[in-house]
Structure 1
Amino acid sequence: MSIPHEIENYIKLQPESKRNDMLELHERILQNLPSCKLWFLDGKNEQGKLVSNPNIGYGSYLMKYADGTTKEFYRIGISANTTGISVYIMGIDDKNHLPQMYGKRIGKATVTGYCIKFKALKDINRDVLEQAIKDGAKPRF
């Protein structure tokens, strides 16, 4: 199955309110990053055991590990969780950047060094979330 079909199926499996929010987020990210690489991670490890929530990813960056090895990974990700939706913004070295720049302006969300978590899009300022996504999508050197 192609990645766009896996993404479509994942979104369709969500409860209606979460499905609508995930679809809106997916479409907004694609509008802002039209030629980005798409990812779908099913949340399973090499043995097929579910170890995390499935994720939709957008863009690409080279993740560097402490031992010097690297791995390509998505730059922006979204995932349904038990209480709502998580938006992951990867590759930002300064773990205070997201909370300081967006935490007070985004509305009812928890903002950490790489994740913005909220119950529903209606609870947050969508424009501020979009700014955070655009900021996170910029290449970092």
Structure 2
Amino acid sequence: MHAEGAFTAGLAHARTYAAQHGHLATHIPWSVKWQRSYYRARGHVRRHGPLNASDGFPDTHVLTGEWLYLQCTDYSSLHPEQRRLLADIGLTAQAAGVDEDDLRQIAAEALGEVYFRDNGQRAHGLEVELTDLLDLEFEL
């Protein structure tokens, strides 16, 4: 009966949330369309292997290739978590053709978000800038 009770409690919580918010989707700072496109691209990578950004994604469906191209052209303005998801499927900043200044800005934003602001938990409004950077290596 424990499983039944947990299910009933979870269902009641879901109904309350849906009544308050009008949906059951969790808050993600980018569109559902972006998520669908990402999952389509991830599925392609799982079925066909690594992406080939330098040749314009020739082995992908037209819509997937176009979406991937747009991610490359807009890479520096993507949310850090979007960039992480893209890196998981092989579309890194380097593969996207991001220049050194943009790479420095991306690293500063990621460092600020993850380390200093703790994903929105502290140091709201803190800006991080990397200047005169010779070498930066870190693992999370």
TM-score (norm 2): 0.28
Q: Which one has a bigger Cα radius of gyration? A: 2
User: Larger helix proportion, structure 1 or 2?
Assistant: 2
